Amino acid sequence: MLHTPQFTLARQQLRTEIRQRRKNLTPEQQTHFALQAAERVASHPKIRSATTVSVFLSFDGELDTAPLIQRLWQEGKQLYLPVLHPFSSHHLLFLHYTPQTLLVRNRLKILEPQLDVTKVLPLTQLDIILTPLVAFDNQGQRLGMGGGFYDRTLEHWQNGGPYPIGLAHDCQKVEELPVEHWDVPLPEVITPGNVWTW
Ligand SMILES: Nc1nc2c(c(=O)[nH]1)N(C=O)[C@@H](CNc1ccc(C(=O)N[C@@H](CCC(=O)O)C(=O)O)cc1)CN2
Ligand SMILES: Nc1ncnc2c1ncn2[C@@H]1O[C@H](COP(=O)(O)OP(=O)(O)OP(=O)(O)O)[C@@H](O)[C@H]1O
């Protein structure tokens, strides 16, 4: 199915608008929301029973994952971070993340663990994938930064892949997103104020 230029433009405008919305949150709001969300994530049954969880390092006004990461380490979870694949474009690898991990800035200016193949976890061994997003809607549809990284990662999640849980601010929710055929809807999104399930 092909879409009109207007449709693509609508997605792009929505990205710009919601990114601005989350960047407008005050530092006080960011701190408060990060703690609220950390509590919701850490007490979620699927997280409690998980061994391996992928997180992300926040940028661009995203919900700050720093308190959540500390808490999950304390609880003995094995954490992983997305790393841009060195030659398979728009694909991610997931690398082990500990307090000792050396972080470097990638070409999109996001911190990631330095590439070390011995630290890569196959997707089939990841229990939960906490998924960043720009906007989500009433049906669990997700709009990301536009690289298709998580769409590719989550393509086969229902056939033995990691269970995805979106992580976002409440202000990132919209009524209905313009959806592309490759968009993968999320079964759950956790915000500071709510746990949304579909
Ligand atoms: N914290 C976090 N990590 C993540 C993601 C994310 O959404 N959040 N990603 C989810 O997919 C992947 C990175 N995806 C991205 C896709 C596009 C842009 C981007 O357009 N960035 C700049 C321009 C980059 C540049 O300066 O060259 C921009 O802000 O417009 C950034 C990240 C992997 N890691
Ligand atoms: N499963 C897939 N297989 C191949 N190409 C894909 C797949 N998913 C997305 N793409 C391609 O990736 C590009 C970006 O997709 P999209 O705009 O939906 O990204 P996004 O969901 O906003 O970003 P992200 O998932 O990185 O947060 C599109 O051009 C699309 O064709």
Q: What are the pLDDT digits (tens) for 86-141?
A: 999 999 999 999 999 999 999 999 999 999 999 999 999 999 999 999 999 999 99
pLDDT tens per residue across span 185-195? 999 999 999 99
CA of 47 to the centre of ligand 1 (A): 25
Return mean pLDDT, the chain. 96
pLDDT tens per residue across span 140-194? 999 999 999 999 999 989 999 999 999 999 999 999 999 999 999 999 999 999 9
Q: Which two tokens stand for residue 192?
A: 């500071």
Judge if pTM exceeds 0.90.
Answer: yes
DSSP E strand boundaries for the chain: 52-54, 78-84, 92-97, 103-105, 111-113, 128-131, 135-137, 142-143, 163-167, 173-174, 188-191, 194-197
Q: Which ligand sits closest to the CA of 94?
A: 1
CA of 146 to the centre of ligand 1 (A): 8
Residues lining ligand 2, Cβ inside 6 A: 90, 143-152, 155, 180, 182-183
The CA distances from residue 84 to 5, 55, 65, 98, 111, in Å, are 28, 14, 19, 18, 10
> What pLDDT sits at residue 121?
98
ipTM over 0.90: yes
CA of 146 to the centre of ligand 2 (A): 6
- Of 74, 36, 20, residue with least CA distance to 190: 36
CA of 63 to the centre of ligand 1 (A): 14
Could you tell me which residues come within 8 angstroms of residue 137 by beta carbon, excluding any fewer than 6 positions away? 173, 174, 175, 176, 177
Is residue 188 helix, strand or coil?
strand
Looking at ligand 2, which residue's alpha carbon is closest to its atom 7? Answer: 152
Q: Quick one: 30 exposed, middle or buried, by C-beta within 10 A (0-12, 13-18, 19+)? A: middle
What backbone phi and psi angles, to 5 degrees, belong to 164? -90, 135
For residue 153, give the ligand 2 atom closest to its CA. Answer: 1
Q: Which ligand sits closest to the CA of 62?
A: 1
CA of 151 to the centre of ligand 2 (A): 5
Looking at ligand 1, which residue's alpha carbon is closest to its atom 15? Answer: 145
165, 44 in Cβ contact below 8 A?
Answer: yes
